[in-house]
Chains A and B, each alone.
Chain A
């Protein structure tokens, strides 16, 4: 997994609530056995007209936002399906940080597994960052995970929370499976006890 330490980039404003994972990437794009190449399905319906041509009004299709690495969006982002294709598609476009008042649990969790940082902030703070994002490519946000800060274009600083363990994994680009495998003895010991206390689970 790639490390996440600092990120200075263009933030795209997407002021909609309840953006579900079908909206982030429709199911038809899940018919792949790869993790890469999913940006072609990213926000497909929002980004295209009914005839299939590109919708120039959609934020990520606008030249000022084509290099966005941050997304500022509405409450309950990523609700619905567990598809990790949603963070994969965002990452494939180049987005590594998403800022919203709240996220659906599974999506939130999936981001951290891919070197991405979802940040929860109060609605009024997200509203301010949304206004920053609307100023286009010249108004960049700067994120420092170690310090847990977002620096706004006017120099103002916003502080955010992140779980210590998740922060540690992101900063160091750690492979969680490798970390857990180091606890192999504890897992075996759990299994040995479980085999005795609930034998019907092992027959």
Chain B
């Protein structure tokens, strides 16, 4: 009998092209997603060495990081952003890569449109020059972020040189309470294992709570696995996965679909498969979470208070917390629900999907954005935007005083004009609260879409359960 294998082991083994004595492998890459920020130097490298893209049809490019979220009929004002977009358009034309341009309704954040178009499928290896590639793991595909040198390597060879990762299991069982979402699950996980807790590992999320999540929720969980330091997150494919995928433009069709589903059903981890590390969480104990500091591990239940550096023994950690609180302009002991916000951002590859917009709209409906607060909603793709408009969500947001924008990465990383001013405080559905992430001097509190909408209407960090 063969040794029981994990989902990760199965995908890894099936993609080995070559293995060296020290364990280093050449791994085949099924799909390569490309955006404008981390690809120009890779295409330039190909040009300089006279190399071609090995599989242009398996390479999918879209501009997302730099795109403006306002009127797109005008040229992009900032010359450097414009140059990156023009460079991408030129490169995809020269190398024959699949491309969704800025005026295509299918354009959007690369990690939103991959699944939306059916490019993302179980059992695949998927890479992108972007750490949030982990998102695609929600389908049971091994998906991870790479640097630009590796982007060039994949373009030229459709493979990567990799060391195998360790297996980690995060088991979450039980029912989520009202107002508690996939975002709160992953924030609670990061709070528990820390921002380096997953380093060197691929994390498989399992248990009844994960099974109960929609694909959107699973994507939110896998998306932020990188914030726990893991190489990738995974959820085993099941009927929820197949249901989401069926009929999408690039999903298998007809007999191919039946054949694919049969294969996908062999992917889940075997009973008795061994993990190097196991973490267990009880879903019923998870409450809405919010970050207070400048690392995603600086996270607490919304019912908590700003922590006190004096309580920390380790000198480097104490210094880190002091610096964080100073940057964030927070005083130890303040209840988190008393922290005022000036900005709210709903969007990103973490929470820019239709279900996220529905959750935010449910809170915004019949309420008004508080005086002195600017709140913006940035759908993750043109198709998410279209669907939200079909459902009337845009009207709910606009009536409540939110801005309704065009799709892109936007204020998640502030490479386009959407950014915080120094000292401005934002409740954000994005994934990183690093110093300066949303704009120089900006202060980010990571929350779920419902919690962000709640902060928008009250003007402070708010427990969404109190708004019922």
A interface residues (Cβ-Cβ under 8 A, vs B): 15-18, 20, 22-23, 26-28, 30-35, 45, 50, 74-76, 79-84, 87, 102-106, 109-110, 113-114, 163-165, 176-177, 179-181, 183, 186-187, 190-191, 194, 198-201, 203
Establish whether residues B24 and A82, one from each chain, have CB atoms under 8 Å apart when the complex forms. no
- Report the separation of the CA atoms of residues A180 and B263 in the bound assembly, to the nearest whole angstrom: 29
Total chain B interface residues with beta-carbon distance under 8 A = 79
A30 to B87, CA, bound (A): 14
Given contacts A33-B87, A104-B196, A190-B17, 6 further A-B contacts (CB under 8 A): A76-B229, A102-B199, A104-B229, A176-B153, A183-B26, A200-B260
User: Which chain B residue lies CB-closest to A79?
Assistant: B195
Which of B123, B149, B253, B436 neighbours the largest number of chain A CB atoms within 10 Å of its CB?
B149
Residue with the greatest number of chain B CB neighbours at <10 A, chosen from A23, A45, A110, A201 = A201
Q: What are 8 A-B pairs with beta-carbon distances under 8 A? A: A81-B130, A82-B146, A106-B147, A113-B149, A113-B150, A180-B157, A191-B158, A200-B257
In the complex, chain B residues whose CB is within 8 Å of the CB of A104: 196, 199, 229
Chain A residue with Cβ nearest B40 = A33
- The stretch from B2-10, B78-86, B207-215, B400-408 touching chain A is B78-86
Distance (whole angstroms) from the CB of A43 to the closest CB of chain B: 11
Q: Which residues of B contact A (CB under 8 A)?
A: 17-18, 20-22, 24, 26, 28, 30, 37-38, 40-41, 44-45, 49, 51, 54, 65-66, 78, 80-81, 83-84, 87, 121, 123-124, 129-131, 133, 144-150, 152-153, 156-159, 161, 163, 195-196, 199-200, 226, 229, 231, 252-253, 256-257, 259-260, 263, 295, 297, 316-317, 319-320, 413-415, 422, 432, 434-437, 440-441
Shortest CB–CB separation between residue B218 and chain A, in angstroms?
21
Closest residue of chain A to B45 (Cβ to Cβ) is: A177
By a CB distance below 8 angstroms, the chain A residues around B263 are: 198
Q: Report the minimal beta-carbon distance from B322 to chain A, rounded to whole angstroms.
A: 12
**How distant is the Cα of A163 from the Cα of B161 in the complex, in angstroms?**
13
B294 CB to closest chain A CB, in angstroms? 8
Q: Which 3 pairs of residues, A with B, have the shortest CB-CB distance?
A: A113-B149, A200-B252, A84-B147
Q: Is A106 within 8 A of B145, CB to CB?
A: yes
Partner among B83, B148, B156 whose Cβ is within 8 Å of the Cβ of A181:
B156
Most buried by A among B40, B195, B415: B195
* Chain A residues whose CB sits within 8 angstroms of the CB of B131 once the complex forms: 80-82, 106
Most buried by B among A50, A82, A191: A82
**Given contacts A32-B80, A164-B22, A75 and B432 within 8 Å (CB-CB):** no
**Inter-chain contact B26/A180, CB cutoff 8 Å:** yes
Closest B residue, CB atoms, query A197:
B263
B316 near A17 (CB under 8 angstroms)?
Answer: yes
Q: How far is the CA of A179 from the CA of B230 in the complex (A)?
A: 28
How near does chain A come to B276, taking the closest CB pair, in angstroms? 15
Establish whether residues B41 and A33, one from each chain, have CB atoms under 8 Å apart when the complex forms.
yes
Q: Is the CB of B414 within 8 A of A105?
A: no
Contact A113–B147 (Cβ < 8 Å): yes
